[in-house]
Amino acid sequence: MIPILTAQQIRDADQYTIGHEPITSINLMERASRAFVRKFSTLVPGGSRIMIFCGTGNNGGDGLVIARVLIQQAHDVSIFVVGSMERATEDFKVNFERLSVLTGIHQVANEDQIPNIPGNAVVIDGLFGSGLSRPVSGLFANVIDQINKSGAEVYAIDISSGLYPDQPLSEGAVVEATHTISFQTPKLIFFLPEMRKYVGQWHVVDIGLDEPFIQSCETDAFFTQARDIALPSRSTFDHKGSAGRLLLIAGSKGKMGAATLSARAAMRSGCGLLYIHTPCCGLNILQVNVPEAMVIEDEHTEVITEVMPADNVDVLAMGPGIGTNSLTQKALADLILHTSEPMVLDADALNILALNPELLNALPPESILTPHPGEFARLVGAWRSDFEKLEKLRWLAKTYQLNVVLKGAYSAVCSSRGYLYFNPTGNPGMATAGSGDVLTGIVAALLAQGMAPFDALRAGVYLHGQAGDEAAINVGEISLMASDLIEYLPAAFKKLHF
């Protein structure tokens, strides 16, 4: 996993690397900027007119190095330095001298000197990086306004000017980048939907900061990588009873599709034995659609009214398609009170929890919740910013000792200790009916096979997204539907067994 560092930790990593590699700070700037150019060159067609805007801090210093390297590669480059040279950093000054030998540098000291930016130009934004200390206003804001209005493609160096790596949106001007080429580690804001407009598509380039130092930084947020995902192992002497016995409590009249999707996803995820508790109306549907499962009928024809834990199952999962009938509410409450092992709750089970919040206290510790943003809001109330949303996620997980995933782009998986792991897989095509039911089946099956609850959740979210990515390659994001996720689960599992 990749630790997500604060602005201060990034500065510390820079300083540590300078002192211990050792490398001079001017050479580290050179190395970072050359890494930027290597990535930039893969994204921008040759022959583009490139306009580089620099502040006089080290982000601007990077801009000057990038200008020099691009000029040496025969690109058409114009450079604009905004703000006072008196405040320039040492490394900026050295690179200013080096560049001056090769080309003229435009100074922008007032509004009249802001250049016209054609829509077909490529802008490189080096106004501010991680050293931003206040909202951007005045001349800098005017320059940013021109950049945003121009319609040109914008490549931010390290981070869009006006954004803090680890804080909510400031009130000042912010560059709306189409791409951000960031140094060494992704920044927290890259994972937040409200920042998308400013960050654009992000890329991280290795600038050789000290890896042991980065790994030793204390943080509670990470970006999950494939190598972090463990899977249950099968041994020669396994039989269906030892490969995980799951009781899925799902379905109600008109919502048997949710039960079917969950059940099939569980079987595709290695569940050894699957029981499905469902209202009588679901019997035939499930027997036909999931012949691998054993179906237990509720007394009621249309909704679930009573279900208890049984000795012959390892894990309980409840929610897909169950509705929120008062009889089902009571069934869930009774089940929770009689269960001591971690269970998986999704969909209407979460809505029932929101209607009866006292049940949260009774949930077995380490249970797993898989809300989408609507269900999450019902559980914790509305939020004003994505930062507040993450705080609420941590609060829910820590207060009730739960493992919770907040589904969406970069689904945030939170452990009961409040550690956040952003998931790298998945695509917008997965925002489709039944997608969540598939996730429930995958996670419950992994849990039933003996994985620790947090590991099962993180792996399930990763595999679900990977199946979505495999499906999207073949059917496209628009046509993608939840049953495709199940079809492509084998490919997702195979990919992890490299």
Annotated binding-site positions for (6S)-NADPHX: 58-62, 129-135, 158, 258, 321, 372, 437
Contacts to ligand NPW from residues 181-210, by CB under 6 A: 183
The answer to whether the CB of 62 falls within 8 A of the CB of 157 is yes
| Closer residue to ligand NPW in complex, CB, 164/462 | 164
Site for ligand NPW contains 57 (CB under 6 A): yes
Residue from the set 52, 67, 157, 331 that interacts with K ion by CB under 5 A: 157
Contacts to ligand NPW from residues 112-131, by CB under 6 A: 128-131
| Closer residue to K ion in complex, CB, 177/259 | 177
Contacts to K ion from residues 94-153, by CB under 5 A: 125
CB of 66 to K ion, least distance (A): 11
Q: Nearest CA to 331 among 298, 354, 310, 306? A: 306
CB of 176 to K ion, least distance (A): 12
- How many Cβ atoms sit within 10 Å of the Cβ of residue 450? 15
The answer to whether the CB of 393 falls within 8 A of the CB of 420 is yes
424: tokens are: 């790298």
- 347 secondary structure, DSSP code: T
Q: How far is Cα 160 from Cα 119, in angstroms, rounded to an integer?
A: 19
Binding mask 139-158 for ligand NPW (x = CB under 6 A): -x----------------xx
Exposed/middle/buried for residue 391 (C-beta within 10 Å: 0-12, 13-18, 19+): middle
Length of the chain: 498
Site for ligand NPW contains 64 (CB under 6 A): no
Site for ligand NPW contains 59 (CB under 6 A): yes
Q: Which residues are annotated as a binding site for K(+)?
A: 59, 125, 161
Compute how many residues bind ligand NPW; rule: CB under 6 A.
Answer: 26
| Closer residue to ligand NPW in complex, CB, 134/384 | 134
Q: How far is Cα 404 from Cα 78, in angstroms, rounded to an integer?
A: 49
Burial 348-376 (b: 16+ CB within 10 A, else e): bbbbbbbeeeebbeebeebbbbbbbeebb
Q: Which does 424 bind (CB under 5 to 8 A by kind): ligand NPW, K ion, none?
A: none
Q: Which does 130 bind (CB under 5 to 8 A by kind): K ion, ligand NPW, none?
A: ligand NPW
What is residue 299's three-state secondary structure?
Answer: coil
The answer to whether the CB of 319 falls within 8 A of the CB of 350 is yes
Binding mask 80-119 for ligand NPW (x = CB under 6 A): -------x-x------------------------------
The answer to whether the CB of 226 falls within 8 A of the CB of 399 is no
Give contact residues for ligand NPW (rule: CB under 6 A). 14, 25, 28-29, 32, 55, 57-60, 62, 87, 89, 128-136, 140, 157-158, 183
Give contact residues for K ion (rule: CB under 5 A). 59, 125, 156-157, 161
